[in-house]
Amino acid sequence: MIDEVGIARRAPYALALLRIVSGLIFLAHGTQKFFGFPGGERAWSGLAFDNPGAFAGIVETVAGALIVLGLFTRPAAFIASGTMAVAYWMAHAPQNFFPVNNGGDAAILFCFVFLYLVFAGPGAWSVDGVRLRSKAAERAPS
């Protein structure tokens, strides 16, 4: 039998894992564009800042780091989600209707995972949670 209460009690930790892992993978896309790490087919090659890929790389790097830390999670996730929606429709959809054929499946997944974080928040293990608890402690009567 499944202990639904026990599972529900662990939901904030599962949410935190989703946030951290998604943020790390997103961050890796940005660091690959700007720092050549990790190396590979899409590693840094003198990315010009007048190109939409540079904007995406900035969002991937900054928002990815914020999402991993759970700092300003909702606004960072909102910007990341929108950026991935734009990336999908500008770069992937024109190539082919099907995401599995146009290489846009990761952009779609990032878009919707980050959109979920906008509504769900950071979960456990976040700087946002620490900030919220310290504000609540300041307001509590002594």
pLDDT tens figures, 75-125: 999 999 999 999 999 999 999 999 999 999 999 999 999 999 999 999 999
Residue 128 vs residues 9, 21, 60, 76, 121: alpha-carbon distances, Å:
19, 17, 19, 12, 9
Task: State the burial class of residue 73 (Cβ atoms within 10 Å of its Cβ: 0-12, 13-18, 19+).
Answer: buried
**Domain containing 21: what range?**
4-139
Mean pLDDT over each residue of the chain, to the nearest integer: 91
Q: What pTM value is reported for the model?
A: 0.91
pLDDT of residue 142: 67
Which parts of the chain fold into alpha helices (H)?
4-9, 11-35, 52-69, 73-87, 99-102, 105-120, 127-139
Confidence of residue 33 (pLDDT cuts 50, 70, 90): confident
71: CB partners within 8 A, 6+ apart: 126, 127, 128
- Amino acid at residue number 63: A
Looking at the chain, how many residues does it have?
142
Number of domains the chain contains: 1
SS3 47: coil
SS3 132: helix
